[in-house]
Structure 1
């Protein structure tokens, strides 16, 4: 497994972005909640396919009895994500949803991903997970990078993020402990499947 500094990762992105033929190179960026996946991907200045856009709606999570576990593997439309990746691999232009934390819901048809883009990044928690349908995702990606970050910093970021979107300090801390951290433990077990590790900050 390769280890990239942020500068080395940026150089690799620049190289991939210079490709001029074929379907987009699909790069996955994975890491536990609060690792900085979205921020890292946004800095790359390439089209982004956000895994969070495939969150099931709260109404459906209520039907499944999973509203209090939102963010766990079973709370996403993994088949929808896999279908989107297959279309991108075929060189199709697709329009995908994005997740809006302010309303705690996905917005359909929000992100345009050109089929002729040299590189598209998809970021999310479970790109290397191999249960509950997620095993279909990794074969559709050309490379996957795992973001490593200090756990204390990551948890602090999560609490602050939950508070920013309306939770009380106590409820934010509870959610991190009871929901985010079990997911982080699960995601950490997939680290060895990554092609490279990037030191996040």
Structure 2
């Protein structure tokens, strides 16, 4: 990954890097590693997670979508596309982005400032390369895209641990990891060939 990071840092101007992969692959970890490397290189990075565009829990409940939270249709994909477009086009003003609070299990609006001086914008999420509209518009808004791959058994163990860390008992955590999460993982895996780089 060092060479890949150096290649991103060598690009002039604002660079938008997309990091994708299935749930539990380690996208957030890779994004944080790139952010730290960018800071060390004197760049001004910011991480903008796709998860900030989760629909609110009360909306998912009202629509009967709570059990499939994390599937592509449980995000404001149009909003995510619009944000990426603003980040690319409105470089002389601060663009505010949402984040996702895992303790609250809710998106939080206006939590991340993409300031004019931000020259490395790292966005990470499952569906950056998905070929369903409007997700299919994301790829053209990225300067480069990475796909993070790990062995399935490790990825599933991470998901079970994550769900348990946020309050699920072992049975529910396992059901989520092998059910909805696994369906989403298979959907994301089908986009691997569209990435500019695969990180194993």
| TM-score, length-scaled by structure 1 | 0.90
SS in 1 for 2:147: strand
Structure 1, gaps ≥5 residues long: 1-5
Per-residue CA deviations over 1:98-126 (Å, capped at 9, x if unaligned) read 10111100111111112332210100000
SS in 2 for 1:95: strand
1:132 offset after TM fit, Å? 4.2
Per-residue CA deviations over 1:16-67 (Å, capped at 9, x if unaligned) read 3xx2x4xx21110000000110111012122111000000001111232211
Structure-1 separation of matches of 2:85 and 2:2: 30
Aligned position for 1:11: 6
Give 1:81-120 correspondences, 5 Å limit: 81-90=80-89, 91=91, 92-120=93-121
Structure 2, gaps ≥5 residues long: 36-44
Aligned equivalent of 2:26, options 36, 42, 55: 36
Alignment check: 8 A CA contact 2:81 2:134 kept: no
1:13 offset after TM fit, Å? 3.3
Aligned position for 1:60: 59
In the comparison of the two structures, how many residue pairs are matched? Answer: 189
Give 1:133-172 correspondences, 5 Å limit: 133-172=134-173
Aligned equivalent of 2:15, options 17, 25, 32: 25
| TM-score, length-scaled by structure 2 | 0.90
Q: Which structure 1 residue ranges, 4+ long, deviate > 3 Å from structure 2?
A: none
